[in-house]
Structure 1
Amino acid sequence: MQLEQRFTQAWAKQSAWLNLLRPLSSLYGLVINCRRYLYHQDILKSYRAPVPVMIIGNITVGGSGKTPLIIELVNFLQYFGLNVAVISRGYGGQGPFPRIVEDSDTPDIVGDEPVLIVQQTGVIMAVGPNRQQAIELILQDTTPDLILSDDGLQHLALQRDLEWIVLDVDRGLGNQQLLPAGFLREPVSRLNTATVIEHGKSAQTDLTMQLESSALLSLETHSKNGSKFGSKPKPPVATTVHAVAGIGVPQRFFQSLKELGFEPIEHVFPDHHNYQPSDLDFADDLPIITTSKDAVKIQKFADMLPEKQIWILPVQAQLSKACYELLLQQLKDLNIVIPNLENT
């Protein structure tokens, strides 16, 4: 078992041995406070973009639903006529950076999440660990009304105008300890400094998000560009399937399959896993169902497994009305003109 998975299981169970790591968590917290102080005093320099920047992040390790939220926000803002751009670190991509994500780019170049975001929105997106360089690359070709940052909540070198923190309330905050004794990247008090979007069935506030599953899509080879999302008769309900997930919280995906009536054989891979054909070479002909995020990496070799039936379970972020209303008000407060607002 990889170290990442071992810690993930320990955090979920709140294992007693994690208490031994609390001195390291205290040291981690001290580093966080020192960094924030140095940026606040302008000892460490930060970059202010010439256009408004909105951070979509979280304070926990692991998936919280940021990518589906960004896709929904981009589509929503584009609907209202705004010119939106997105930046991302491009985790898992080899670059070179900074780089504008092209339709032909693959996850090993720009990362899996940027490929998925661009596929589903067509947004202009720049990736690279240096967010300033990514923004400046976008500004060479366009001046967006708003730049969304996929993650980067802890990237204090980038100043921001808005912060939305996605909080998985079903998973909770564990033992509320900072890394490594807990899975918090920042103290719980950080939630008081930003807009918090509660994700999960146990959400308590008006600002909520749910992930809704869509109909299964088949992953089919395409002679021109390798692969595409196609459609054909889906596996019937009550079918036993191989459920393949390399995401932050795979149990959420497995539970969705169960709620749809499938009987999943669970295959957990590390987040951002670089799939190989052998990962899906199961010794049977049962259907394989995976996530959209995993599919963008599996599609590169799907034609090498012609005997396998590979399916995608897409999910879409469904936000409460209050989220959309708050976002539009926040944009107005930043003097961002929303072209099509009066026509709705």
Structure 2
Amino acid sequence: MSAAQLIQDAWNKQAKWLIVLRPLSWLYRGGFLLNKSLYQAGLKQSYKAPVPVMVIGNITVGGSGKTPLLIHLVKYLQSRNVRVAVISRGYGGKGPFPAEVGIATDAETAGDEPVLIVQSTGVPMAVGPNRQKSIELLLSQHALDLIICDDGLQHWALERQIEWIVLDNNRGLGNEKVLPEGYLREPKSRLKYGTVIEHSSYPKMPLNMHLAESKPYLLNDGMVKPFEPNADFYAVAGIGFPQRFYRTLEAMGVQHFQCHEFADHHEYEIDDLQFEDSNPIITTEKDAVKILPLLRKNPDFQREIWVVPVDAILSPACYETLHQQLKQLGIQLDEGSH
């Protein structure tokens, strides 16, 4: 088990030994708050884009359901004739940056989540560590009403007019400690200063979402057969919170699967997909964007690989809030049904 997976496991279990990391958490918290205060005092300059910016992020490390929410919002805005684009750090991508992401862009260049977002929506998107350069690249080629920043909640170098913070109640805030003793990127008090979207199947807040799985599909080119939930699967996941994926499988009636976890944004090799028998693999859409190129480079690989797509389902209050926030920025949405 890698060091990253070891500490991820300790966070999920709220292991007591994490207390030895508290001095490092104090240093992280102090450095983070100092950096934030420098921006707030104007000693460091933030970039204000010529069009409104909406940040969708979280205060935790690892998966929260942010990407499915972003994909849903992009589709919703597109259906209402809002000219929207997306920027991202492009974590895991090798660039060169800034890079515009197209349908044919691979995850090695731009990162897995940006490739998934563009393949799902066709939205104009640019990635790179310098968000200003990404925005300028998009504006040089597109007329836009709104830019959504994927993640970047803690990126104070970019001004934003709207912040949506996804809070996954399945995972919660853990031991409520900041990195590395816990998995909080910021103290929980940060939740007071953004629009919090509760991710839960049994929500307590009016602003909430949950994920609904769709019918699994085969990733293998030219292979057609019905999905059999009673098969024995290898559940392969390189995401921030794989336990959610396992719960999804169980809710679908998939009861027989061996878990094979990799670090978030794992760069797959064909050997990662090799097992002693011929049982099928089942995985996430985020993993699939990196596995598909491997299949095409290895045409002799015959094992079935099933992909489970998920869609974000938002409460009516989320749409009402979105309309209000955009209206305040002068962005009018065409009428339509949710």
TM score, norm. by length of structure 1: 0.94
Q: Does 2:104 match 1:104?
A: yes
Secondary structure of 2:21's counterpart equals helix
Structure 1 moving runs of 4+ over 2 Å = 231-235, 341-344
Task: Verify the 8 A CA contact 1:258 1:264 in the aligned structure 2.
Answer: no
CA–CA separation in structure 1 for the residues paired with 2:282 and 2:106: 21
Q: Of the candidates 236, 241, 250, which is equivalent to residue 242 of structure 2? A: 250
- Alignment map for 1:294-333 (pairs within 5 Å): 294-303=287-296, 304=298, 305-333=300-328
Secondary structure of 2:87's counterpart equals strand
Task: Verify the 8 A CA contact 1:51 1:144 in the aligned structure 2.
Answer: yes
- Decide whether aligned partners of structure 1 residues 194 and 281 sit closer, same or farther in structure 2, where only a CA change above 3 A counts: same
Other-structure match for 1:227 = none
Other-structure match for 1:39 = 39
CA–CA separation in structure 2 for the residues paired with 1:18 and 1:309: 40
Q: For residue 342 of structure 1, report the CA deviation from its aligned partner.
A: 7.4
Task: Verify the 8 A CA contact 1:48 1:160 in the aligned structure 2.
Answer: yes
CA–CA separation in structure 1 for the residues paired with 2:197 and 2:157: 24
Q: For residue 31 of structure 1, report the CA deviation from its aligned partner.
A: 1.2
- Decide whether aligned partners of structure 1 residues 104 and 19 sit closer, same or farther in structure 2, where only a CA change above 3 A counts: same
Q: For residue 287 of structure 1, report the CA deviation from its aligned partner.
A: 1.3
Aligned AA for 1:289?
A: I
> Across the two proteins, how many residue pairs are aligned to each other?
335
* RMSD, matched Cα: 1.4
- Alignment map for 1:211-230 (pairs within 5 Å): 211-221=211-221
- Alignment map for 1:9-28 (pairs within 5 Å): 9-28=9-28
Task: Verify the 8 A CA contact 2:80 2:336 in the aligned structure 1.
Answer: no
Task: Verify the 8 A CA contact 1:19 1:181 in the aligned structure 2.
Answer: yes
Aligned AA for 2:313?
A: Q
What percentage of residue pairs aligned between the two structures are identical? 53
Other-structure match for 2:77 = 77
- Alignment map for 1:279-298 (pairs within 5 Å): 279-298=272-291
CA–CA separation in structure 1 for the residues paired with 2:114 and 2:229: 32
Q: For residue 215 of structure 1, report the CA deviation from its aligned partner.
A: 0.1
Other-structure match for 2:263 = 270
- Alignment map for 1:32-181 (pairs within 5 Å): 32-181=32-181
Aligned AA for 1:220?
A: N
Task: Verify the 8 A CA contact 2:54 2:146 in the aligned structure 1.
Answer: yes
| Deviation sequence 1:12-48 (CA, Å, 0-9, x none) | 1211111122222122111121111110111011100
Task: Verify the 8 A CA contact 2:99 2:134 in the aligned structure 1.
Answer: yes
Question: Where in structure 2 are there 5+ consecutive unaligned residues?
Answer: none
Secondary structure of 2:86's counterpart equals strand
Task: Verify the 8 A CA contact 2:14 2:174 in the aligned structure 1.
Answer: yes
Task: Verify the 8 A CA contact 2:236 2:282 in the aligned structure 1.
Answer: yes
CA–CA separation in structure 2 for the residues paired with 1:79 and 1:235: 31
Aligned AA for 1:250?
A: P
